[in-house]
Amino acid sequence: MIDRDTIASAMYEAMRLAATQLPPDVEAALEAALDTESDPLARRHLQVSLENARAAQDGEGLVCADTGFPLFFIAAGARTEVAGGFGALHDAAAEATARATADAYLRPTMVDPLTRVNPGDNVGPGMPRVLLRFEGEGAGLEIVAAPKGGGSEIFGTFYRMMYPSDGEAGILTFVLDAIRDGCYAGKICPPAIVGVGIGGTADLCMELAKEAAVLRPIGQPNSDANVAALERKLFDAARSLGIGAMGAAGTSAVMAVNVETAVTHTAALPVAVNAQCLVGRRWRALISADGQVRFTGDPT
């Protein structure tokens, strides 16, 4: 059985690492973008972003000052047991988030949506966000801490209920318009990881887009060949928009376009877009059934 203190400590450390270290696949993608980008201003943006990230890794600040929304994505196995039940996960996440905020790894950016009162610790109704899924026969926990920047969420979220007759052409047009709008003036801090959700209900569609942007490793195509072909088409088209890093001219507006799908109503074609900013923050804590914890920025 995994105890709550172990979980809270692992959540805190995963969030701290996410705020101070680029995931290896994101760092490699930024370096690849720098190698292929020709626009001088876009190249300079990429160079500064990498320099800032390496300074953060050396203990000098954060990979980005806007630590945004505190998100935890948790996967449990069929035999996983948590002391106090799975409801304890949210309490542990709240403790970890408040501690990370007090230690200045997270900025206190969460406020009441109506009064704008700031509790100062990023904890309140709905936050930190904890999403739990069950998969496999294991007995451990996989926790992904993802402090998602405000710019990418505020300016990089789009949804449309399309007609089935709009088809792939309509999807391409909508997604590319969303990328252009989000990248304008660097609003989503490109190069972005663009998540696209297609199908399901409105809320499921948005969830698919968010997880495609935040959780999928860069360079890992969808396992469905048809969806992977759509990803490649969208990625190539996005690179031809003439937009580079931070909204400058160039070709480096996106690092990846990841698409996830779900079956939907025969009369519906819901499509959502959610962007992740250039630092792509996410870090994993892997907790075994006996309470041993391992941290990694690599996909599992």
Residue 280: the pLDDT is 95
Please check whether residues 211 and 144 belong to one and the same domain: no
Q: Within a 10 A sphere around the Cβ of 22, how many other Cβ atoms?
A: 27
Reference 98, options 72, 80, 123, 117; nearest CA is 123
Q: Is 279 left (phi over 0), alpha (psi -120 to 50) or beta?
A: alpha
Please check whether residues 128 and 159 belong to one and the same domain: no
C-alpha distances out from residue 22 to 19, 29, 57, 88, 136, Å: 8, 11, 8, 29, 28
Contact 253, 241 (CB under 8 A): yes
Residue 214: the pLDDT is 96
Domain that holds residue 257: 151-276
Residue 298: the pLDDT is 84
Transcribe 157-175 into DSSP letters.
EEEEEE-GGGHHHHHHHHH
Domain total in the chain: 2
Please check whether residues 201 and 155 belong to one and the same domain: yes
Amino acid at 140: G
Q: What are the residues whose beta carbons fall under 8 Å from the beta carbon of 33, sequence distance 6 or more?
A: 46, 191, 245, 252, 255
Please check whether residues 125 and 201 belong to one and the same domain: no
Residue 217: the pLDDT is 95
Please check whether residues 122 and 233 belong to one and the same domain: no
Rounded Cα distance between 290 and 89, Å, is: 17
pLDDT in tens, the chain (300 residues): 999 999 999 999 999 999 999 999 999 999 999 999 999 999 999 999 999 999 999 999 999 999 999 999 999 999 999 999 999 999 999 999 999 999 999 999 999 999 999 999 999 999 999 999 999 999 999 999 999 999 999 999 999 999 999 999 999 999 999 999 999 889 999 999 999 999 999 999 999 999 999 999 999 999 999 999 999 999 999 999 999 999 999 999 999 999 999 999 999 999 999 999 999 999 999 999 999 999 999 876
Classify residue 87: in a domain, yes or no. Answer: yes
**Helices and strands, counts by H and E, the chain:** 8, 9
Please check whether residues 121 and 228 belong to one and the same domain: no
